[in-house]
Amino acid sequence: MCPALSKPPPGPLPRRLLARYLLLLRLHPLLTKAASSAVLSALGSLLSQVIERSRKKPGSSKSLDLSGPLRFAIYGFLFTGPLSHYFYLYLEQLIPSSVPFAMVKRLLLDRLVVAPPFLLLFFFVMNLLEGKDLSAFAEKIKSGYWVALKMNWKVWTPVQFINVNYVPMQFRVLFGNLVALFWFAYLASIKKR
């Protein structure tokens, strides 16, 4: 084990957790971003279940389904974390801040070029992880993709404007994951319709 990881820094718990996260981010950026994406994606799925349970009648006590959060964790670990990590690196090289209208160009690239296929990937991977066939995938795309994409543009456009233009590069995936905690709760609820 790395000596720097074996001894926690002094101070209150939030400061120690942040110091540990920053260290892991520096030593293992891709793995740290993938792991944080997995955890926050799973929490978003759990949040969706909690919200759904609170809307139901008080007498119905359906237990939490852990397979949903597991699927979201897999998706976050294998796709959201790594793809976001590389996208933000590429975005900095493709459109550096010195380029005229860089802020707008970055946002347009993210919203119009990256978001639609990324959302399609989400629906496809979730379909596979649920063990469903391509006809179920096609039906889900017909019923939920356009609704989810419009909501994505509404919710994520201001978030991504801030993220790609003002958040330091090493924190962009984490910032997106924190917002995605609620976004995945929304997507989980859309998937159930």
Query: By C-alpha distance, which of 100, 144, 104 is closest to 120?
Result: 144
Give yes or no for residue 5 having a pLDDT over 80: no
Residue 49: the pLDDT is 83
* Averaged pLDDT, 47-76: 81
Q: How far is CA 51 from CA 34, 41, 46, 93, 178, in A?
A: 26, 15, 9, 40, 18
> End-to-end distance of the chain based on CA atoms, in angstroms?
46
DSSP 52-86: HHHHS-TT--PPP-THHHHHHHHHIIIIIHHHHHH
pLDDT band per the 50, 70, 90 thresholds, residue 171? very high
> Is the separation of the CB atoms in 123 and 141 below 8 Å?
yes
Domain containing 74 equals 3-191
The string over 59-81, giving b where at least 16 C-beta atoms fall within 10 Å of a residue's C-beta and e elsewhere, is: eeeeeeeeebbebbbbbbbebbb
Share of the chain above pLDDT 90, in %: 66
Largest CA distance in the chain: 59
What pTM does this model have? 0.85
User: What is the number of structural domains in the chain?
Assistant: 1
**Gap between the Cα atoms of 52 and 38, Å rounded:** 21
pLDDT band per the 50, 70, 90 thresholds, residue 17? confident
> Is the separation of the CB atoms in 77 and 35 below 8 Å?
yes
Residue 183: the pLDDT is 79
